[in-house]
């Protein structure tokens, strides 16, 4: 009983020092690993795995870790014990019921019952990790959608390009990575177009969420084209000047329409001339 009290007192002196520089309330799970086995666990750590404290004592700690994460977790622990890293690291564990949980851990070297041991301090970050994974999946779906669209799509913030899909190269001759980070002036024929068209588009978006129009643009290399442009503001207002726009090169269509109009005018003129004879 004396040894248990002594060890508990030793742990209570060490544990508060673990979270230096970290959120005070984050790391509530505490455990001691010695010779590869769990020698002490607090109720919070046992609860994360769905075990009782008694069930965990003597368990090989490596068996708790998800098989694919064991190597990474061990390497990170060794590096932290050597002082090579200081940031908490994450890995998965297998709970008693077979479910998988994500934990974030820091470790420190201590002496436990007169022998070297490792003091682990962790928190359950399963909910955060799952949320992050869902966001990654959503982002991947959005990227796939943008890549698949046959029309040029660009996202802009304060008239600076922050997103561009592969189809921009077909319309403008620029690769996406060449456009991202640049101002939208590069898409216009001259400063006058840039100012005039920009004002009309943003003026319309202050009153309505979307706006469609046609205006002249310029390709890489200087060739002028005509684009059908659909623009939508991002968010409920235009306060942050964040918009997304699609561009379709309709130059040939406009030429065909103009040629058709000229043909119709010529035909009408011929008919009038014939009738007046």
∠ CA 67-65-27 to the nearest 5 degrees? Answer: 150
Among the residue ranges 24-28, 60-64, 112-116, the one predicted with the least confidence is: 24-28
What pLDDT is attached to residue 277?
A: 63
Residue 133 has pLDDT above 80, yes or no: no
Rounded CA separation 66/56 (Å): 16
pLDDT band at 255 (very low <50, low <70, confident <90, very high): confident
What pLDDT is attached to residue 239?
A: 72
180's tokens: 């991202």
Residue 9 has pLDDT above 80, yes or no: no
Domain ranges across the chain: 2-125, 147-257
Among the residue ranges 44-58, 126-140, 221-235, the one predicted with the least confidence is: 126-140
What pLDDT is attached to residue 7?
A: 42
Displacement of CA 143 from its chain's centroid (Å): 11
Rg (CA), the chain: 33
Domains 2-125 and 147-257 share a fold: yes
Do the beta carbons of residue 94 and residue 66 sit within 8 Å?
A: yes
Closest CA to 80 of 46, 58, 99, 104: 104
Do the beta carbons of residue 57 and residue 11 sit within 8 Å?
A: no
Residue 59 has pLDDT above 90, yes or no: yes
Report CA dihedral (49, 55, 61, 66) to the nearest 10 degrees: -40
Q: Which of the listed CATH numbers 3.90.1300.10, 3.30.450.20, 3.30.450.40, 1.10.540.10 matches domain 2-125? A: 3.30.450.20
Three-state secondary structure along the chain?
CHHHHHHHHHHHHHHHHCCCCCCCCCCCEEEEEECCEEEEECHHHHHHHCCCHHHHCCCEHHHHECHHHHHHHHHHHHHHHCCCCCCCEEEEEECCCCCEEEEEEEEEEEEECCEEEEEEEEEECHHHHHHHHHHHHHHHHHHHHHHHCCCEEEEEECCEEEEECCCHHHHHCCCHHHHCCCEHHHHCCCHHHHHHHHHHHHHHHHHCCEEEEEEEEECCCCCEEEEEEEEEECCCCCCCCEEEEEEEECHHHHHHHHHHHHHHHHHHHHHHHHHCC
Q: Which fold would CATH assign to domain 147-257?
A: Beta-Lactamase (3.30.450)
What pLDDT is attached to residue 124?
A: 92
Sheet of 37-41, strand order: 37-41, 29-34, 115-124, 100-112, 89-94
What pLDDT is attached to residue 27?
A: 65
| Per-residue pLDDT tens digits for 216-226 | 999 999 999 99
């Amino acid at each position: 009983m004396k040894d248990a009290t002594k060890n508990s007192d030793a742990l209570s002196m060490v544990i508060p020092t673990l979270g230096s520089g970290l959120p005070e309330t984050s790391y509530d799970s505490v455990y001691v690993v010695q010779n590869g086995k769990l020698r002490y666990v607090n109720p919070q750590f046992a609860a994360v795995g769905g075990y009782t404290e008694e069930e965990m004592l003597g368990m090989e700690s490596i068996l708790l870790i998800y098989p694919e994460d064991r190597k990474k977790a061990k390497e990170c622990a060794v590096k932290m014990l050597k002082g090579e890293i200081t940031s908490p690291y994450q890995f998965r564990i297998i709970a008693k019921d077979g479910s998988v949980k994500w934990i974030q851990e820091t470790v420190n070297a201590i002496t436990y019952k007169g022998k070297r041991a490792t003091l682990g301090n962790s928190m359950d970050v399963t909910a955060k990790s799952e949320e992050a994974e869902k966001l990654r999946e959503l982002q991947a779906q959005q990227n796939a959608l943008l890549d698949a669209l046959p029309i040029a799509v660009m996202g802009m913030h304060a008239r600076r390009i922050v997103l561009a899909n592969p189809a921009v190269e077909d319309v403008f001759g620029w690769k996406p990575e060449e456009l991202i980070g640049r101002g939208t002036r590069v898409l216009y024929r001259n400063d006058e177009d840039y100012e005039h068209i920009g004002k009309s588009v943003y003026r319309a978006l202050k009153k309505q969420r979307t706006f469609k129009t046609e205006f002249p643009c310029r390709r890489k290399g200087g060739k002028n084209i005509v684009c059908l442009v659909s623009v939508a503001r991002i968010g409920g207002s235009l306060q942050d000047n964040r918009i997304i726009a699609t561009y379709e090169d309709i130059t040939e269509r406009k030429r065909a329409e103009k040629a058709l109009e000229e043909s119709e005018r010529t035909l009408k003129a011929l008919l009038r001339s014939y009738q007046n004879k």
